[in-house]
A and B are shown apart, each in its own frame.
Chain A
Amino acid sequence: MAMTLDVNGKPLAVKAAPDTPLLWVLRDELGLIGSKFGCGVAQCGACTVLADGQPIRSCVMPIEGLAGMKITTIESLGGNSPLQQAWVKHDVPQCGYCQSGQIMSATALLAAKPNPTDADIDAAMDGNICRCGTYQRIRAAIKDAAGMAAAAPVPVTPVAAPAAPAKI
């Protein structure tokens, strides 16, 4: 039984069984590999995509429930959205595996709240695990993308040129 999914603005016929989670249809059948598999039980957020603008965990969403909804994945952002620019500017990613999901959650957040508070960011981003611990930069990049200065700039001692060992 084939069904049609609206993915990134295109109606696409998919062959997968109706109980197949959206994530595996996106990745294995449609070749949209930006959304990742991390836990399979909606705990980590690596698979986050938007359905009618709302963030969903695609690893637990059977496609049969998504007919008629507009699915948006990381691939639709084009690589140059304000959030993606901020992500690159802050060198947010480390291993990078969670970042598609992080950016999709942040995209939904900024769409709903263009100037999010720290509490808004906590609420919107706590479903997305980053094992590398890039959380501080994620927060800074979201605020940057929202056109706000980060609450507290984090200084890194600049090392202009290697000097002699410090005297103690």
Chain B
Amino acid sequence: MNRILSPRETQGATRRDLVVGATLVGGALLVGCSPGDLLSVGAKEDFGAFGPFIKIGADGAVTVISKHIEFGQGNHAGLAAIVAEELDADWTKVKVEQAPAIAKVYANTGMGVQGTGGSSAISNSWTQLRQAGAGAKAMFIEAAANKWNAPVGEITVKDSVVSHAKSGKSATFAQLLPEAGKIAPPKAPVLKDPKTFTLIGTDRVRRKDSQAKSDGTARFTQDVQLPDMLVAMVAHAPRYGAKVGSFDAAEARKVPGVVEVYQIPTGVAVVAQNTWAARKGREALKVTWDETGAEKASSETMAANYRQWAAGKGTLPEKTEWQAFETKGDAAKKVQGTIFETTYDFPFLAHAALEPMNCVAQVGAGKAKLTFGSQIPTVDQLNTAKIVGMLPGAVEIETLFAGGSFGRRANFQSDYVAECVEIAKKVGKMRPVKLVWTREDDTAAGYFRPLTHHAVKITVDKEGYPVAWRHRVVTQTLMKGSPMPTKGVDETTVEGTKGSPYLKATPVVDAQVLMPDVNIPVLWWRSVGATHTAFVMEHTIDQLARKAGKDPVAYRRTLYEKAGATRHLAVLNLVAEKAGWDKPATAGWSRGVAVHESFGTVVAQVAEVQLVDGQPKVGRVVTAVDCGTAISPDQIAAQMEGGICYGLSAALYGKITLKDGVVEQTNFDTYRVLRNSEAPTVETHILPSGNAPSGTGEPGTPVIAPAVANALLALNGQATTSLPFVKA
């Protein structure tokens, strides 16, 4: 559920992947090969008559193959519905299966590699799956036309039944399967006119996994149990960059059930017959760490430095310089008006998916298999292939449900996967090894949303609207160590400020980012750059509106009109109408509004907030969303509800701190998250749209924090300059 690569970055990724791929296939020059081919060398491909996305059983049941992992987003329902709509399959019997890892056929069309992220599962599959469904339907129609000697144009399909009204003949998919399977798939299948959709956009598009996820049978990585499987736990260094100095495993080996102890690049692994033995074995280990090169940064010092640098004070670290990401007009020229100035501080955040990171790996002679919740299978294949010295396609991946990810499982280093593969390589013989991280391992491992500082200085005209906007962002890049390092500005650090309609409506803009190099691993976290930029832009705008003595909704309308931001304006108008903005707020509650676009989806929210014992309590949240064509209204609502809870959890409590390089939080007692009694009631309203669909997994998340801050501003006139709201 994160942004992986913008189209611009994909280009760089492709070139680099070609190099990696070529290295892995022995340096042979493979002219004319696509990156997908290279990344899939060695893969087994075995698809049925209807291609890689559709399987139809002898009973006529349709199974849609999902190239995207399901870790909560509801994408399996949406992807299956796209196929079922074009195929006119009986939706109640459609099943979903997870695709194997084969980049050549299952690449994310926006990334070039197989992976899920950037709220792109539905949007990148839209045309691909419509064509797959329409192609399969055409095969059934042609088979029926041949069999009944009827014109193709007179054959219709409904709920997996093919009919010819004139002759009164009809047959099920099951009955026509032998003939349909022999028809050549059409090269350019004709897609439906969206006006004739009967499934997409209806409340019939519901999850396919709710039963399995309500009766305990849904299978996650943690649940994998294979014959002869070993369970591993790893003792990790307390600081990033530290290595094993020496260790004494004598006591660990005495623990009943412990099978072996290995040194691996990331620490010392205890391998046992079961989880509890592995854990007790790890507790009995004595490890001395070599801290040469260990990172000893403290988050408090980092934040102080970031503030200094943004204010133009202090000395910048070596090889670190300010880079412009949006420039307009002459920033040097003095602009007449009143100046508004403020800063914002955002902490490191952990993803804290409820299933701690884990993996099952098997390594044998010439082959390897991973069974786990893989978010970017191609990258996980490449990293595994490097460790075991095989072709990427020789690394088989069976993708399971994951107990959340929020970006954590999409990792260029495949950190926890690589750790598991290192252990499985030591064990060998294709013997399965399940790596289990505790919650404490998961929290300490990092890959946080980076600590971030913003400083804004805005000149407003007589009416109170911005005429000059100076913006400074200090944050770590997410692209360090990635196979696709970006030159210049890493877009993920500024997206949302960059491209903001408010900057578009401002004649003079001077926006720059500083990306200091720190050895604290950081990563995309549900909604990525928007996790901080949405807050800064939306809370700043409310402060400007307040200073101008204008209503925050009316003030935004003026700026959106100036910027030509028609979609922002439409969701703002919808949310204002549904929240009753023109009427007073519910007695005892203060209201705040915020609007933000991320991943092509625009979300507006009005939050009702109270202060209870000095802490914000959020009651009702009205949400309006423009995500193009709505495939599953219910799951869009679910993503708004969930995204708001995820964003609110971080806004209220989320804060990871490091002292001398050591992460101070360990578990949910020190990294507090939102609980049931604190969850708001969310109402979702979807803007009707004929545009292609865009994603909803992330865009609901970043809007709630500024909506709450704006409600507090309306309540007591106090602006929020740092998150979380609740200071420990």
Complex interface: chain A residues within 8 A of B649 (CB):
131, 133
Structural contact, B646 and A131, CB atoms closer than 8 A: yes
Contact of A163 among B355, B401, B439, B689 (CB under 8 A): B689
Structural contact, A163 and B688, CB atoms closer than 8 A: yes
Complex interface: chain A residues within 8 A of B333 (CB):
none
Structural contact, B689 and A162, CB atoms closer than 8 A: yes
Structural contact, B218 and A96, CB atoms closer than 8 A: yes
Complex interface: chain A residues within 8 A of B212 (CB):
96
> Is the C-beta of B71 less than 8 angstroms from some C-beta in chain A?
yes
> Is the C-beta of A98 less than 8 angstroms from some C-beta in chain B?
yes
**Chain A contact patch, size range:** 35 or more
Name A78-97 residues within 8 Å CB distance of B. 78-79, 84, 87-88, 91-97
Complex interface: chain A residues within 8 A of B681 (CB):
136, 152, 154
> Is the C-beta of B685 less than 8 angstroms from some C-beta in chain A?
yes
**Which of B8-16, B194-202, B244-252, B500-508 forms part of the interface with chain A?**
B194-202
Contact of B354 among A28, A78, A95, A137 (CB under 8 A): A95
Structural contact, A156 and B686, CB atoms closer than 8 A: yes
Interface string of B188-226 (1 = CB under 8 A from A): 000000110100111100110111111111111011010
**Which of B378-386, B411-419, B630-638 forms part of the interface with chain A?**
B630-638
Interface string of B306-334 (1 = CB under 8 A from A): 00000000000000000000000000000
> Is the C-beta of B136 less than 8 angstroms from some C-beta in chain A?
no
> Is the C-beta of B534 less than 8 angstroms from some C-beta in chain A?
no
Structural contact, B439 and A99, CB atoms closer than 8 A: no
A123 to chain B, nearest CB (A): 8
Closest to B222 in A: A37
Structural contact, A94 and B354, CB atoms closer than 8 A: no
Contact A134-B641, Cβ < 8 Å, known A33-B225, A122-B676, A159-B686: yes
Interface string of A109-145 (1 = CB under 8 A from B): 0000000000001100110111111111111000000
Please measure, in the bound complex, the distance between the C-alpha atom of A88 and the C-alpha atom of B289, giving whole angstroms.
49
B204 to chain A, nearest CB (A): 11
Name B323-353 residues within 8 Å CB distance of A. 352-353
Structural contact, A91 and B72, CB atoms closer than 8 A: no
Contact A96-B403, Cβ < 8 Å, known A24-B274, A133-B645: yes
Complex interface: chain B residues within 8 A of A24 (CB):
274-276
Please measure, in the bound complex, the distance between the C-alpha atom of A44 and the C-alpha atom of B642, giving whole angstroms.
17
**Chain B contact patch, size range:** 35 or more
Complex interface: chain A residues within 8 A of B424 (CB):
none
Between A87, A103, A128, A163, the greatest number of chain B beta carbons within 10 A of the residue's beta carbon is seen for: A163
Contact A157-B633, Cβ < 8 Å, known A28-B275, A100-B216, A137-B638: yes
Interface string of A62-88 (1 = CB under 8 A from B): 000000000001110111000010011
Between B218, B406, B633, the greatest number of chain A beta carbons within 10 A of the residue's beta carbon is seen for: B218
Closest to B641 in A: A136
Structural contact, B274 and A28, CB atoms closer than 8 A: yes
Contact A88-B72, Cβ < 8 Å, known A41-B667, A133-B642: no
A10 to chain B, nearest CB (A): 16
Q: Mostly helix, strand, loop or mixed at chain A's interface?
A: loop
Please measure, in the bound complex, the distance between the C-alpha atom of A33 and the C-alpha atom of B691, giving whole angstroms.
43
Structural contact, B690 and A164, CB atoms closer than 8 A: yes
**Which of B150-158, B390-398, B474-482, B565-573 forms part of the interface with chain A?**
B565-573
Complex interface: chain B residues within 8 A of A27 (CB):
223, 275
A27 to chain B, nearest CB (A): 7
Interface string of A6-50 (1 = CB under 8 A from B): 000000000011001100100111011111111111011010000
Structural contact, B641 and A41, CB atoms closer than 8 A: no
Name B571-592 residues within 8 Å CB distance of A. 573-574
Between A17, A152, A168, the greatest number of chain B beta carbons within 10 A of the residue's beta carbon is seen for: A168
> Is the C-beta of B97 less than 8 angstroms from some C-beta in chain A?
no
Please measure, in the bound complex, the distance between the C-alpha atom of A40 and the C-alpha atom of B439, giving whole angstroms.
7
> Is the C-beta of B673 less than 8 angstroms from some C-beta in chain A?
yes
> Is the C-beta of B148 less than 8 angstroms from some C-beta in chain A?
no
B447 to chain A, nearest CB (A): 16
> Is the C-beta of A166 less than 8 angstroms from some C-beta in chain B?
yes
Complex interface: chain B residues within 8 A of A162 (CB):
194-195, 197, 200-201, 629-630, 688-690
Please measure, in the bound complex, the distance between the C-alpha atom of A70 and the C-alpha atom of B566, giving whole angstroms.
61
Complex interface: chain A residues within 8 A of B691 (CB):
165
Structural contact, A74 and B354, CB atoms closer than 8 A: no
B60 to chain A, nearest CB (A): 24
> Is the C-beta of A161 less than 8 angstroms from some C-beta in chain B?
yes
Between A20, A35, A73, the greatest number of chain B beta carbons within 10 A of the residue's beta carbon is seen for: A20
Contact of B355 among A35, A91, A97, A157 (CB under 8 A): A97
Please measure, in the bound complex, the distance between the C-alpha atom of A73 and the C-alpha atom of B222, giving whole angstroms.
17
Closest to B402 in A: A95
Contact A168-B566, Cβ < 8 Å, known A91-B206, A128-B676: yes
Closest to B566 in A: A168
Complex interface: chain B residues within 8 A of A17 (CB):
256, 276
Complex interface: chain B residues within 8 A of A73 (CB):
216
Contact of B214 among A103, A128, A132, A163 (CB under 8 A): A103
A160 to chain B, nearest CB (A): 7
B19 to chain A, nearest CB (A): 35
> Is the C-beta of B493 less than 8 angstroms from some C-beta in chain A?
no
Please measure, in the bound complex, the distance between the C-alpha atom of A87 and the C-alpha atom of B101, giving whole angstroms.
32
Please measure, in the bound complex, the distance between the C-alpha atom of A39 and the C-alpha atom of B350, giving whole angstroms.
14
Complex interface: chain A residues within 8 A of B686 (CB):
156-157, 159
Jot down 21 A-B pairs with beta carbons below 8 A, ordered by A.
A17-B256, A35-B216, A36-B222, A44-B439, A87-B210, A88-B210, A91-B207, A96-B212, A96-B401, A99-B213, A130-B645, A131-B354, A131-B404, A131-B646, A132-B646, A154-B681, A159-B630, A160-B202, A161-B197, A165-B566, A166-B570
| Across the A-B interface, the 8 shortest Cβ-Cβ residue pairs | A34-B216, A133-B645, A97-B403, A96-B213, A94-B72, A135-B679, A95-B72, A79-B215
Residues of B within 8 A of A (CB): 71-74, 194-195, 197, 200-203, 206-207, 209-220, 222-223, 225, 231, 256, 274-276, 352-356, 401-404, 406, 436, 438-440, 566, 569-570, 573-574, 629-630, 633-638, 641-646, 649, 667-669, 673-677, 679-691
